């Protein structure tokens, strides 16, 4: 278990390794038991076959006529690999090797054929498995091929072990996959829910624990969707209700006899309120579109290079050259599926952030836009040359109503721009990330699937 804690393994890998260890332990125990009992069983079987061959050969020689014995011996050698030789007193033979398997065979043969039987490893320097027998007063040697009666060869052992390991791996893979499949589905569901999408409900079947977890997650997703819908309705209603008094206040200020300076300050405050209301409505609209995206039609395919060039051109015309500059490097003929209106809102929010918070020491917001293809995605980068943000703020700034604490807190804003942008990017099946570059500005990276 310490191995699993040291290395960051996934649940599938942990289950797979655990099953492999258990199966290999079982195989090791089985192998030890087979060695203990299998050797004795094979020795007993081989000794019975040898004893039967010796008895049959002796019987055949006993009833064969003298002129047919030579033909019989030739047939035994050719078809049964049994060589019969006449035994003499001058024969020189060597005993069997001092190994457990061969000693067991020797004991069984002496019991079956008689204690006077000689069992040899070599006779007159000829290697074979030799067994002596007597027939009609004549003495013979019966030679067997060692390979046919020897123990299991190392190659056979290796093939059996490899086959057992392969079957164990396949079994562990199937078992781990079966156990891990519901959790993988649950992880995908949670990830989709975290990005604001509406995933299909999890199947409420299978094992009791999986059934309870999936059912709880489905209820949680339904509650989140309802909460989000209520919040959208509240924001839209609040924003709508504020429009009428805000318009009335503007009219009364214009008709009042307030000094020009006071009127200008009040008008700036009302402008900020109006801006905040617009952001609230835009946030509610983006949220609603994201949670209904699973039931909407597929976004149209557009020439992203062409659309982006056009939007940058429009933005450049509205820039004050004394306060901001905009440069772009756009690769041509890059296509993606994204709503043109959503693309405009994304760029507007990011340009607005860059112009507000991305000013350098000279008070100028230098904005640079780059679009290029990266593998199977289109990479859109928007950077400025401001003070940047702290590393720990790259995640929190994506949350609604979240504001940075470094070099950006003295600016007026609602904290909804990046939250709206993230939801619009998610609608296009893309991702957005903030890259911290302290004292070198902020880099916003958007990846959208390419066509």
Question: Are 278 and 315 within one domain?
Answer: no
Q: Which domain holds residue 429?
A: 297-449
Q: Shortest CA distance to 304 belongs to which of 326, 327, 332, 342?
A: 332
Task: Determine the Cα–Cα distance for residues 236 and 278; give it in Å rounded to an integer.
Answer: 10
- Domain with residue 241: its CATH number is 1.10.287.130
pLDDT over 50 (residue 2): no
Task: Determine the Cα–Cα distance for residues 445 and 433; give it in Å rounded to an integer.
Answer: 5
H/E segment holding residue 247: helix 208-255
Top mean pLDDT of 68-77, 224-233, 289-298, 397-406 is at 224-233
pLDDT over 70 (residue 344): yes
Question: Are 233 and 348 within one domain?
Answer: no
Average confidence (pLDDT) over 348-366: 83
* Tokens at 119, concatenated: 């069992």
Task: Determine the Cα–Cα distance for residues 329 and 142; give it in Å rounded to an integer.
Answer: 93
Residue 121: inside a domain, yes or no? Answer: yes
- Domain with residue 410: its CATH number is 3.30.565.10
Residue 50's CB is within 10 A of a number of other CB atoms, namely: 22
Q: What is the dihedral of CA 104, 106, 111, 113, to 10 degrees?
A: 150
**In the chain, what is the straight-line distance between the N-terminal and C-terminal CA atoms, in Å?**
46
SS3 361: coil
- Domain with residue 126: its CATH number is 3.30.450.300
Kindly list the strands in the beta sheet with 365-374, ordered across the sheet, starting from the edge strand earlier in the chain: 324-330, 365-374, 377-383, 441-449, 431-437
Structural domain count of the chain: 3
**Residue, of 329 and 413, whose pLDDT is higher:** 329
Residue 182: inside a domain, yes or no? Answer: no
Rounded to the nearest 5 percent, the helix, strand and coil shares of the chain are 60, 15, 25
Q: Identify the pLDDT of residue 227.
A: 77
Which of 154, 176, 193 terminates a domain? The answer is 154
Task: Determine the Cα–Cα distance for residues 204 and 189; give it in Å rounded to an integer.
Answer: 13
Task: Determine the Cα–Cα distance for residues 431 and 445; give it in Å rounded to an integer.
Answer: 8
Average confidence (pLDDT) over 145-150: 76
Which of 154, 186, 219 terminates a domain? The answer is 154
**CA dihedral sign, ordered 154, 156, 161, 163:** positive
Which of 108, 125, 154 terminates a domain? The answer is 154
Q: Shortest CA distance to 399 belongs to which of 422, 380, 382?
A: 422
For all residues of the chain together, what is the average pLDDT? Answer: 76
SS3 358: coil
Question: Are 349 and 287 within one domain?
Answer: no
Residue 128: inside a domain, yes or no? Answer: yes
* Tokens at 76, concatenated: 């035994």
Question: Are 58 and 17 within one domain?
Answer: yes
Average confidence (pLDDT) over 288-317: 73
* Strand 138-144 to 377-383 pairing: unpaired
pLDDT over 80 (residue 12): no
Question: Are 97 and 138 within one domain?
Answer: yes
pLDDT over 50 (residue 408): no
């Amino acid at each position: 278990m310490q191995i699993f804690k040291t290395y960051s393994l996934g649940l599938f890998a942990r289950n797979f390794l655990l099953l492999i260890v258990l199966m290999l332990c079982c195989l090791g125990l089985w192998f030890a038991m087979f060695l203990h009992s299998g050797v004795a069983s094979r020795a007993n079987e081989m000794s019975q076959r040898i004893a039967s061959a010796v008895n049959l050969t002796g019987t055949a020689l006993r009833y064969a006529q003298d002129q047919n014995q030579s033909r019989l011996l030739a047939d035994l050698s050719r078809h049964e690999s049994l060589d019969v030789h006449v035994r003499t007193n001058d024969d020189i033979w060597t005993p069997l090797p001092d190994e457990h398997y061969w000693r067991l065979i020797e004991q069984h043969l002496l019991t079956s054929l008689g204690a006077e039987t000689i069992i040899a490893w070599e006779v007159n320097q000829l290697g074979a498995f030799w067994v002596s027998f007597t027939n009609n007063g004549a003495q013979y040697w019966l030679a067997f091929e060692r390979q046919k009666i020897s123990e299991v060869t190392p190659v056979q052992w290796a093939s059996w072990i490899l086959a057992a390991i392969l079957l164990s791996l396949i079994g562990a893979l199937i078992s781990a996959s079966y156990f891990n499949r519901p959790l993988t589905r649950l992880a995908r569901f949670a990830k989709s829910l975290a990005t604001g999408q509406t995933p299909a409900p999890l199947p409420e079947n299978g094992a009791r624990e999986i059934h309870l977890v999936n059912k709880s997650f489905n209820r949680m997703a339904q509650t989140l969707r309802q909460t989000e819908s209520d919040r959208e309705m509240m924001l839209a209603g609040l924003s709508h209700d504020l429009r009428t008094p805000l318009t009335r206040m503007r009219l009364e200020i214009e008709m009042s006899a307030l000094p020009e300076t006071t009127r200008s300050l009040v008008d700036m405050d009302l402008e900020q309120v109006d801006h905040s209301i617009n952001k609230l409505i835009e946030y509610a609209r983006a949220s609603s579109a994201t949670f209904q995206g699973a039931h909407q039609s597929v976004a149209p395919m557009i020439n992203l290079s062409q659309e982006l060039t056009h939007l940058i051109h429009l933005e450049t015309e509205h820039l004050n050259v004394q306060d901001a500059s905009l440069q772009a490097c756009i690769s041509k003929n890059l296509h993606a599926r994204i709503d043109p209106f959503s693309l405009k809102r994304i760029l507007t929010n990011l340009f607005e952030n860059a112009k507000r918070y991305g000013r350098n020491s000279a008070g100028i917001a230098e904005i640079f836009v780059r679009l290029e293809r990266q593998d199977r995605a289109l990479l859109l980068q928007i950077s400025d040359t401001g003070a940047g943000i702290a590393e720990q703020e790259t995640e929190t700034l994506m949350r609604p109503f979240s504001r940075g604490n470094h070099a950006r807190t003295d600016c007026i804003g609602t904290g909804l721009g990046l939250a709206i942008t993230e939801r619009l990017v998610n609608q296009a099946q893309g991702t957005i990330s903030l890259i911290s570059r302290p004292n070198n500005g902020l880099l916003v990276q958007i990846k959208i699937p390419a066509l």
